Amino acid sequence: MTKLNAAIQNLRNNTTISLTFDDDVFRGNNKIGYEGAGWIADSLRVNTTLTDLDLAYNNIGDEGAGMIADILQVNTTLTNLNLGRNKIGAEGAGWIADSLQVNTTLTNLNLGHNKIGAEGAGMIADVLKVNTTLTNLNLEHNNIGAEGAGRIADVLKVNTTLLSLNLRGNNIRAEGAGMIADVLKVNTILTSLDLGNNDIRAEGAGRIADSLKVNTTLTSLNLHDNNILAEGVGWIADVLKVNTALTDLSLQCNIFWAEGVGMIADSLQANTTLTDLSLRCINFGAEGVGMIAYILRVNTSLTGLDLGNNNIGDEGASRIADSLKVNTTLTGLDLGYNNIGNAGARWIADSLKVNTTLLSLNLMSNNIEAEGASRIADSLQMNTTLTYLNLWINNIGDEGASRIADSLKVNTTLTGLDLEHTNMGHMGASRIADSLKVNTTLLTLTLCLTISRLREYEL
């Protein structure tokens, strides 16, 4: 516990403003537990500088949560508190809730991945009726169910400060989603809502969509992995045609295939406010991505698009590439896990030679080999806007890495490059190293040499 002792001493000496205990040193058999939480809490009685405290993954339980809660009643500096993954139950949630009745400084609270249940959620909800400082609340994966969601929904009718709410993975189903949807019709404060992984299905999606016809403040909505299917996405697509507040929407891992994607694409012809859209892991293939590609030619609001893990292949990559030649607003594109291969990489590379807006491109795990990497490298010698490129888990080898290295000698815009798990050996790494002697812009580089290649070059 040397690190813990040192941290506590720093707290007592008022030399710390941010403290994290969630790294590997405190996992497994080295978690601080409720006893360590007590020591931390005791030191906070005299500390007047700490603003951020992260105690995630520390098995502090209800007893430890109670000790932290006690100090929250008198501490006046802490603004961010992470108690995620600590086996805190309803009892611990109750202690935290009690402290929030008097605490006037905490703005961000993470209780995610605990076991507070509907009872604990109810206690947290009750205190939100009087607390006027908390702006961000994370209750993800706490099994609060529809009952807990209902308690949270009730308080959102009167709370005037909460801006962000995360209820991901709580099994609230359509019933809970309906209660949250009803309050969205009257709440004018909440800007970010995460309902991912709650099995709300088409019925729940329909209720949420209906609320978005009148809500004018929610800007970020996550509905990922909710089994909403084409019917549900149809409701969402319809409301996108009239909603003018939503800027960030995630529908990833909802299997609605090309049919649903067509509905979303159609809505994007009318929508002018959505800037970030995630359609990851929907399995719409080349057909679906073709519809999105067409919209990218006319849509002028989307800046971030995640199309990862959709099996678009080289055909889909060619459709996206064509749209990138004329699109002038997209700055971030994720095409990871799409099996685009060398042919798809070639299409994307050609578009990078003329595209002047894309800043970030993710091509991880796409079966790209040296040939495809070479085409991308060539484009980097002409492209003057791309700042981040991810080629992680592609078999580019030493040959592909060498071509990338050559491009780094002349490219002056790339600041981040990920070449991890690309079957690169000593020779490729050496070529990359040599390029860095002349490159003056790359700030972040990720490499991973396999043991077999290291032995081959006798390192």
Q: Which of 7, 145, 136 is nearest to 84 (CA)?
A: 136
First to last CA, the chain: 36
Q: Where a domain ends, among 117, 140, 163?
A: 140
Q: Where a domain ends, among 124, 140, 156?
A: 140
Regions of the chain with pLDDT less than 70:
1-3, 15-17, 19, 21-30, 449-459
Is 341 domain-assigned? yes
Could you read off the pLDDT of 181-230 as tens digits, one per residue?
A: 999 999 999 999 999 999 999 999 999 999 999 999 999 999 999 999 99
The residue segments making up the domain with residue 338 are: 284-459
CA 439-441-443 angle, to 5 degrees, is 110
Is 6 domain-assigned? yes
**CA atoms of 290 and 296, how far apart (whole Å):** 10
Look-up: residue for tokens 């996550």?
A: 222
Is 267 domain-assigned? no
- The structural domain count of the chain equals 2
**CA atoms of 99 and 67, how far apart (whole Å):** 10
Q: Where a domain ends, among 106, 140, 174?
A: 140
Amino acid at 196: G
Tokens encoding 233: 């996405």
Tokens encoding 241: 């045609």
Tokens encoding 197: 């992984």
For residue 309, the domain's CATH number is 3.80.10.10
The pLDDT assigned to 453 comes to: 39
**Is there a contact between 34 and 63 (Cβ–Cβ < 8 Å)?**
yes
Is 433 domain-assigned? yes
**CA atoms of 1 and 10, how far apart (whole Å):** 14
CA 65-68-71 angle, to 5 degrees, is 150
Count of CA atoms in the C-beta half-sphere (13 A) of 415: 4
Is 167 domain-assigned? no
Tokens encoding 248: 């960030």
The pLDDT assigned to 21 comes to: 61
**Is there a contact between 204 and 177 (Cβ–Cβ < 8 Å)?**
yes
The pLDDT assigned to 6 comes to: 74
**CA atoms of 72 and 78, how far apart (whole Å):** 8
Strands (E), 199-358: 220-222, 248-250, 276-278, 304-306, 332-334
The pLDDT assigned to 249 comes to: 98
**How many other CB atoms are found less than 10 A from the CB of residue 441?**
11
SS3 of 408, please?
Answer: helix
The pLDDT assigned to 23 comes to: 46
Tokens encoding 211: 């609320």
**Is there a contact between 282 and 310 (Cβ–Cβ < 8 Å)?**
yes
Helix (H) or strand (E) holding 330: none
Is 150 domain-assigned? no
